[in-house]
Amino acid sequence: MTGIDAIAGLFAGPGARDYLGEPVTIGEHMRQAGALAEAAGAPAPLVAAALLHDVGHLRNESDARHGSGGARWLARWFGAEVTEPVRLHVAAKRYLCATEPGYFALLSPESVRTLALQGGPMTPEQAAAFGALSHARDAVAVRRWDDEAKDPAITPPGFAYFAPLLAGLAGR
């Protein structure tokens, strides 16, 4: 089975139809995030990261661990420019809560609830360390699309729309 087949199977599976406390299913949410990244003109690896950022949830990882667990799984097929924003998108929420006035107010109730489970806002020292990571900027971009991709009025493209982009990146 190729990586694309494995990922397609997760998007087609029952986990993608869960709601996880948001007004859209997790599969819709992930496809909305990918579409937002593409509409913003993001490069292909960052579109893939936005599309796949919650793949850990599809694999039943916990709220606190779904970034790192998803990234580890994706590393079988994708490089760091895809896996690092996925790994860091939970930390990016904690980072933005610490560094950007007004960010917390934008979070959905479910994102506020899980923030506590994920460690709460970063300390200034943690935020400085995060900001120095080479993929911090991309992780923050994924985080903003993540926060926006919860609109029940939007019907995002299906997984098949994104498959060629993923296939072009999955070099291993």
**Site mask, Fe ion, residues 139-168, x = CB under 5 A?**
-------x----------------------
Dist CA 143 CA 140 (whole Å): 5
Contact window for Fe ion (CB under 5 A) among 39-47, 52-60, 75-83, 131-139: 52-60
Binding segment for Fe ion (CB under 5 A), chosen from 46-54, 80-88, 99-107, 126-134, is 46-54
Q: Which is nearer to Fe ion, 54 or 138 (CB)?
A: 54
Using an 8 Å Cβ cutoff, are 23 and 96 in contact? Answer: no
Please pick, from the candidates 28, 54, 84, 147, the single residue that binds Fe ion as defined by CB under 5 A: 54
Which residue lies nearer to Fe ion by CB, 123 or 155? Answer: 155
Which single residue brings its beta carbon nearest to Fe ion?
A: 146
**By the criterion CB under 5 A, which residues form the site for Fe ion?**
54, 146
